[in-house]
């Protein structure tokens, strides 16, 4: 199976996680940490449920992966996220040494990785590979549907 097919497969799992968030009234963002082509952990937004500003999908998935792998270093891992990570989540991704970030749709308001200057502007020893637009239509439509119901 080629990289694009694997990316789509893992992003579909992230979309399922985002739908869990949607069902409980959270902004529908899902994340999946993958290592050696195997899912290590998943997560979805739980800020409202947990009354915790840190409970973004990426943070939830990274915390779970660290516990499962018994290491804060998620070397050679990829994180799949339905929405481009914010600055807090980007920091967690960098500090956990995740090698690759794949996200579905850009976030013009808070997203950080689509600005490739970000990687050059900050001192990052290891380069992070970034891919975006995987299952973009599904990721974007889920977010639009959620925000439409709020208005």
The Cα–Cα gap between 68 and 81 comes to 19
Are residues 30 and 15 in contact, defined by beta-carbon separation less than 8 angstroms?
yes
The Cα–Cα gap between 23 and 8 comes to 23
Residue 141 is a catalytic residue = no
Among candidate residues 17, 58, 84, 138, the one labeled active-site is 58
Phi, psi of 122 (to 5 degrees): -110, 150
Q: Is 79 exposed, middle or buried (0-12, 13-18, 19+ CB in 10 A)?
A: buried
The Cα–Cα gap between 130 and 116 comes to 9
Active site residues: 58
């Amino acid at each position: 199976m080629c990289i694009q097919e694997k990316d789509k497969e893992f992003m579909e799992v992230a979309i399922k996680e985002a739908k869990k968030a949607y069902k409980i009234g959270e902004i529908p963002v899902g994340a999946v940490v993958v290592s050696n082509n195997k899912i290590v952990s998943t997560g979805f937004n739980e800020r409202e449920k947990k009354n915790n500003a840190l409970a973004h999908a990426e943070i939830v998935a990274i915390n779970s992966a660290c516990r499962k792998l018994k290491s804060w270093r998620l070397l050679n891992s990829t994180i799949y996220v339905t929405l481009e990570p914010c600055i807090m989540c980007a920091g967690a991704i960098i500090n956990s040494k995740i090698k690759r970030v794949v996200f579905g749709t850009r976030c013009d308001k808070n997203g950080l990785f689509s600005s490739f200057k970000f990687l050059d502007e900050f001192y990052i020893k290891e380069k992070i590979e970034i891919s975006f637009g995987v299952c973009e239509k599904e990721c974007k439509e889920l977010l639009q549907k959620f925000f439409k119901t709020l208005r």
